[in-house]
Amino acid sequence: GAGVSQSPSNKVTEKGKDVELRCDPISGHTALYWYRQSLGQGLEFLIYFQGNSAPDKSGLPSDRFSAERTGGSVSTLTIQRTQQEDSAVYLCASSLGPGAYEQYFGPGTRLTVT
Amino acid sequence: GQQVMQIPQYQHVQEGEDFTTYCNSSTTLSNIQWYKQRPGGHPVFLIQLVKSGEVKKQKRLTFQFGEAKKNSSLHITATQTTDVGTYFCAGPGTSGSRLTFGEGTQLTVNP
């Protein structure tokens, strides 16, 4: 595809359920980021993958959050035992490399926990 | 760890007025990037500055990178309603580290 894609675009789940959010980065991009954005707020960094290096998980808010990136391409963000405060837009971005390169963002997944 | 701060958090202007947002990093940056997020959209890359003291222009937008490479600014001349959105600066501490975003400045333009 031409850009970063994310699925689903919207997800409504009940409190306590697990959810999986998917990100398909631009082909050839070695860096992949996950962010969380609450309404009217800034970008909260969650996790960063760069090539084969160990991911930077310093932004994950709790051990309910995890992410993996298979084969250096597709990434999945998993939230276990969802809470209402997890409701937000989850954005994925990819870039050709680490910080010196511009990021291309996907359209995001809007997660609502009821 | 590295922190990137932006001011102001919000700015309301009348159409035709100028607007400036400032970005400050706790550490020296190898480069500074600016992004724009329209309401309901996702951040979109605007520009990257690399050199100390660099100034770049895109039509009514002027971007500056400080001499010490720790601060930057975005100035919009004669704002239009199409300028509405949140402007983020972002920078890596070193070229090999991840990008850190500022909190953003939310611009509202009253017609």
Q: Convert the pLDDT of each residue in B63-86 to its tens digit.
A: 999 999 999 999 999 999 999 999
Q: Can you spell out the DSSP letters for B41-95? A: S--EEEEEE-STT-EEEETTEEEEE-TTSSEEEEEESS--GGG-EEEEEEE-SST
Contact B92 A103 (CB under 8 A): no
Q: Give the model confidence (pLDDT) of A31-68 as tens digits.
A: 999 999 998 889 999 999 998 889 999 999 999 999 99
Q: Write down the mean pLDDT value for chain B.
A: 94
Does B103 lie at the interface with A, CB-CB under 8 angstroms? yes
| Half-sphere exposure (Cβ direction) of B46: Cα atoms closer than 13 Å | 28
Report the share of chain A in percent with pLDDT over 90. Answer: 85
Chain A residues close to B100, C-beta within 8 Å: 45
Between residues A87 and A101, the one the model is more confident about: A87
Would the pLDDT of A1 be above 60? no
Q: What is the DSSP letter of A24?
A: E
Would the pLDDT of B98 be above 90? no
Would the pLDDT of B55 be above 80? yes
CB atoms within 10 A of CB A54: 7
Question: Which one of B48, B93, B101 has the shortest CB-CB distance to A42?
Answer: B101
Would the pLDDT of A81 be above 60? yes
Contact B97 A98 (CB under 8 A): yes
Contact B100 A45 (CB under 8 A): yes
Pick from B81, B89, B68, B80: which is nearest to B21 by CA?
A: B89
Does B10 lie at the interface with A, CB-CB under 8 angstroms? no
pLDDT band at B95 (very low <50, low <70, confident <90, very high): low
Question: If you average pLDDT over residues B33-62, what whole number do you get?
Answer: 97
pLDDT band at B92 (very low <50, low <70, confident <90, very high): confident
Between residues B2 and B104, the one the model is more confident about: B104
Q: Nearest C-alpha of chain B: how many angstroms from A21?
A: 17
Sign, CA dihedral A14-A20-A23-A24, equals: negative
pLDDT band at A71 (very low <50, low <70, confident <90, very high): confident
Total count of residues recorded for chain A: 114
Contact B92 A48 (CB under 8 A): no
The structure tokens listed for A22 are 């998917």
